[in-house]
Structure 1
Amino acid sequence: MLSWTHILVVVAVVVLLFGRGKVSDLMGDVAKGIKSFKKGLADDDVPAAKPEPRIIEGSATQEADARAKDKTANG
């Protein structure tokens, strides 16, 4: 089990290795990442607009629809 002295020693070693500036920059980056993640989750709750189907002239579907209409019109 970790005691307070173990935690303090680990923190002291990290600060000595990386310096105070890098540790605070790293914590700031972690906080920005968490905020961005939460914002992304909140944006997912809003339903996206359903795109309208596009009709492309000369497509196989239009040609098939035209043939079906011709068949029904001709008998």
Structure 2
Amino acid sequence: MGAMSFWHWALVILVVVLLFGRGKISDLMGDVAKGIKSFKKGMADDDEPATATSEPKPIEQQPAVKTEAEKAKS
């Protein structure tokens, strides 16, 4: 009842790939990377010293995420 062996991990990875497919996993990881980059950019923007004369920055519009049905129509 110790740690999981190589065969346990191989089976878990195989099941995950079969359920989600390689495409969805890579899309998910790409979205996670974009989120991390946005978070870091936001944190860097907050580190800049604010002055009384500086104007507020406008909020950047992000394109809407298409659902699977909308992707199929395109």
Q: Which category of TM-score, normalised to the shorter sequence, fits these structures?
A: 0.5 to 0.7
One-letter amino acid of the structure 2 residue matched with residue 11 of structure 1: I
User: How far apart are the structure 1 equivalents of 2:39 and 2:15?
Assistant: 30
Aligned 1:1-75 pairs, distance under 5 A: 1-50=3-52
One-letter amino acid of the structure 1 residue matched with residue 48 of structure 2: V
In structure 1, runs of 5+ residues without a counterpart are 53-75
More helix by share: 1
Q: Count the aligned residue pairs.
A: 52
Identity %: 69
Alignment TM-score, normalising by the size of structure 2: 0.58
Q: Which has the larger radius of gyration?
A: 1
Deviating runs (4+, > 3 A) in structure 1?
Answer: none
User: How far apart are the structure 2 equivalents of 1:51 and 1:45?
Assistant: 17
Once the two structures are superposed, residues 2-61 of structure 1 have per-residue CA deviations (whole angstroms, 9 ceiling, x without a partner) of: 333332222211110011110110010001111111111111110122259xxxxxxxxx
Change in Cα spacing, 1:49 to 1:4, as seen in structure 2 (3 Å) is: farther
Change in Cα spacing, 1:3 to 1:43, as seen in structure 2 (3 Å) is: farther
1:68 matched residue in structure 2: none
